[in-house]
Structure 1
Amino acid sequence: MFKLLVFCALFMVMGIGHGFNHGQNLKDFDDFTILYNKLYANTSVRTFANYNFINNRNHIAQHNAQEERKHSTYREAVNQFSDLSLHQIINLFPKAQYTVPAQNSTPTATTEPTDTDFDIITGMGLTIDVEDQGTHCSSSWAYAAAKAIEIMNGIQTAESTPEPLSAQELIDCAGMGTGCTTQNPQTAFDFLKLTGLATAADYPNNNGLATQGVCVTDQILTGIKLEAYSTIKDGDDIALKRFVFNNIPVIVEYNPDTFGFMEYSSGVYVPPKKTKAIGSQFLVVVGYGHDADLDLDYWRCLNSFGTTWGENGYIRIIRSAKYPLAKNAIFPNTL
């Protein structure tokens, strides 16, 4: 009798465990795969992705219920990462490595901030495309570097719609074998002091690659060249705010290895005090402000997860001495 009860219990657990594969859940997952053009190596991989999708969607619903009760300051939503487990996310976004000292230059002269709310993009009337690095290559270092230079170039040339620049060139030509794993923006800037950055039209981005490609050398002889770059000391958010106020896009390293960050949809993101892992995603800080409804100060950052992630590709992160944002911060100084 005891064995029969154990068998029945196991059968019920297995039935519940496989319940995600039926009815509306299956249709929702099929719609998800079509929307994000998902392809899986085999049935087993697809089944695991299906399980992750249902699990993550349930987590999102639970989190948003907490947000509606004012127990959270941001909302989450299904996006291109919703078929990944936390373990897969950690593997996709490893910690960046720094092996060469920065060729730091004296920063551009700046003035102290006077505005409580400031945004480079809207303030300068720029139209900037939000890029999508895809779900196969940890290439934010290249996308952030290209976007920071693109923004600065638009400001310096008074071009309100600057031409998008090629992150793929940086991945292929400056990646040094780690373009999809542990590379960092400083490597991109060092490379661009020697050669030019092509436009994305001339050297197209390819977010379907899981490894860096072969450098197309005839495309990098012309383009925007970086004369100098500067860095900000870790934790110096006062300097970070000052440079942003002076229309300087600053790249920072941020830990993406949490469901909250990966599924972020809107609001002011407050990271958990403890995380299971620390990886690297590079963001371009373009502004700061205050959310009156939440009574929170925030940074506005441009990510490279496409426009379906976050607030049209941007994230607002809490601005507080308890949560310093300036980490391995770097910015183009002179083009």
Structure 2
Amino acid sequence: MAFTLEWKFRISIFIVVSGAGESKDASTTLDEASMAMKHELWMAKCARIYVDNAENQWRFKIFKENVEFIEKFNTEANHTYKLGLNEFSNLTDEEFAMFHTGYNPTSSFKNSSFQYENLTDVPPSIDWRNEGAVTPVKFQGVCGSCWAFTAVAAVEGITQIKTGSLISLSEQQLVDCSKNGVNQGCKAGNVLDAFNYIQTNGITSETSYQYIGKNATCDIEKTKNIAACIAGYESVPSDSEEALQKTVFDATVLCFGENEDGINYWLVKNSWGANWGEGGYMRLRKDVGFPEGLRGIAMYASYPVV
């Protein structure tokens, strides 16, 4: 997978951004011993155990590079936020992109009609959590199933909006059973291929098919108790935050609003647990002056339809 410097920077931000992390003055150069101690403390806090010394040395090298990136970033004056350590701080950019963002450059992106194209009655803010359309923040663990969590969150939201019933749906069903396209369980996957699976097979509830965070054989009996269906999915026009906002208003579980200081932002739910960011959410500033939006949020958006 080839990464441009711009993409590498974006992924690095997502590896280390955290509301609970601690930052230090970057002018203080940490020697190898203190860095090793920092790594040991991080391992204990995040319950990381490596299989052998070779893996420990490799992960320590990655951890050290990420810490140095954090220190440098936090001393620069042109940023509106700080970075800190979290449970992903021993991953490379490529590993994080594959296992925790659903990014896959080989995936097809469907070009279709955009049903919200002529929508004009868009409110200044909306928070779908307050409307009962968002399930509590979940945790994908070490399984690279972000694609499944993303698809499920979108289907949970649109199902509640259309039916009034909020049901926590099964990511594990997608991990085990959605083998179409590039989907490979905990190894890799794509949201659009997950939508295709749900359109064909439906999806059961999390209660019926519980998440275990690892690959398993598809349990056909569990999948028979269908809790939600979709008619398909559509793509939001690329590089348009205006189009994305129209979609958010009607069809997804992203939230948007305005801070007290007047800055518009997107509030995005993640699958990395409630200890990450703001109780499991992160803010991305809107209307930043480039078409793809901050961190590329408007580049490849899609949504299910029922």
TM-score, structure 1 length as denominator? Answer: 0.68
SS in 1 for 2:200: coil
> Partner of 1:154 in structure 2?
160
Cα-to-partner distance string for 1:100-149 (whole Å, 9 max, x where unaligned): 857x5773798424432322223x14552212223442x22211111111
Deviates more, 1:55-64 or 1:38-47: 55-64
* Amino acid aligned to 2:237: K
* Residues 158, 107 of structure 1: alpha-carbon distance in 2 compared, 3 angstrom cutoff: same
Q: Retained in 1: the 8 A contact 2:255–2:268? A: yes
User: What is the rounded CA distance, in whole Å, between the counterparts of 1:131 and 1:65 in structure 2?
Assistant: 33
Aligned partner (choices 135, 149, 161) of residue 128 of structure 1: 135
> Partner of 1:195 in structure 2?
201
> Partner of 1:330 in structure 2?
302
Matched, 1:107 2:115: yes
1:169 offset after TM fit, Å? 0.8
Aligned partner (choices 302, 319, 325) of residue 286 of structure 2: 319
Alignment of 1:77-226 (within 5 A): 77-86=84-93, 88-89=95-96, 92=99, 95-99=104-108, 107=115, 111-122=119-130, 124-126=131-133, 128-137=135-144, 139-159=145-165, 162-176=166-180, 178-179=183-184, 180-207=186-213, 209=214, 212-223=215-226, 224-226=228-230
User: What is the rounded CA distance, in whole Å, between the counterparts of 1:183 and 1:194 in structure 2?
Assistant: 17
* Residues 192, 89 of structure 1: alpha-carbon distance in 2 compared, 3 angstrom cutoff: closer
Higher relative contact order (CA 8 A, sep 6+): 1
Cα-to-partner distance string for 1:216-263 (whole Å, 9 max, x where unaligned): 1111112212133322221233222112122x11xxxxxxxxxxxxxx
1:78 offset after TM fit, Å? 0.9
Q: Retained in 1: the 8 A contact 2:39–2:60? A: yes
Q: Retained in 1: the 8 A contact 2:208–2:225? A: no
Alignment of 1:251-290 (within 5 A): 286-290=254-258
Cα-to-partner distance string for 1:196-224 (whole Å, 9 max, x where unaligned): 211222212233x3xx4321111111221
SS in 1 for 2:140: coil
Higher normalized strand content (fraction of residues): 1
User: What is the rounded CA distance, in whole Å, between the counterparts of 1:65 and 1:99 in structure 2?
Assistant: 39
User: What is the rounded CA distance, in whole Å, between the counterparts of 1:78 and 1:100 in structure 2?
Assistant: 33
Q: Retained in 2: the 8 A contact 1:169–1:197? A: yes
Q: Retained in 1: the 8 A contact 2:134–2:153? A: no
SS in 2 for 1:118: coil
* Amino acid aligned to 1:116: P
* Amino acid aligned to 1:134: G
Q: Retained in 1: the 8 A contact 2:133–2:156? A: no
Indicate the RMSD between aligned Cα atoms, in angstroms: 3.1
1:312 offset after TM fit, Å? 2.1
SS in 2 for 1:72: coil
Larger Rg over CA atoms: 1
Q: Retained in 1: the 8 A contact 2:98–2:188? A: no
* Residues 328, 242 of structure 1: alpha-carbon distance in 2 compared, 3 angstrom cutoff: same
Q: Retained in 1: the 8 A contact 2:170–2:205? A: yes
Q: Retained in 2: the 8 A contact 1:193–1:228? A: yes
1:315 offset after TM fit, Å? 2.1
* Percentage identity across paired residues of the two chains: 22
User: What is the rounded CA distance, in whole Å, between the counterparts of 1:99 and 1:333 in structure 2?
Assistant: 18
* Residues 54, 328 of structure 1: alpha-carbon distance in 2 compared, 3 angstrom cutoff: closer
Question: Which residues of structure 2 form unaligned runs of 5+?
Answer: 1-28
Aligned partner (choices 53, 56, 63) of residue 63 of structure 2: 53
1:292 offset after TM fit, Å? 5.2
User: What is the rounded CA distance, in whole Å, between the counterparts of 1:146 and 1:191 in structure 2?
Assistant: 11
Q: Retained in 2: the 8 A contact 1:60–1:77? A: yes
Aligned partner (choices 230, 233, 241) of residue 229 of structure 1: 233
User: What is the rounded CA distance, in whole Å, between the counterparts of 2:118 and 2:168 in structure 1?
Assistant: 27
1:331 offset after TM fit, Å? 1.1
1:172 offset after TM fit, Å? 1.6
1:290 offset after TM fit, Å? 3.4
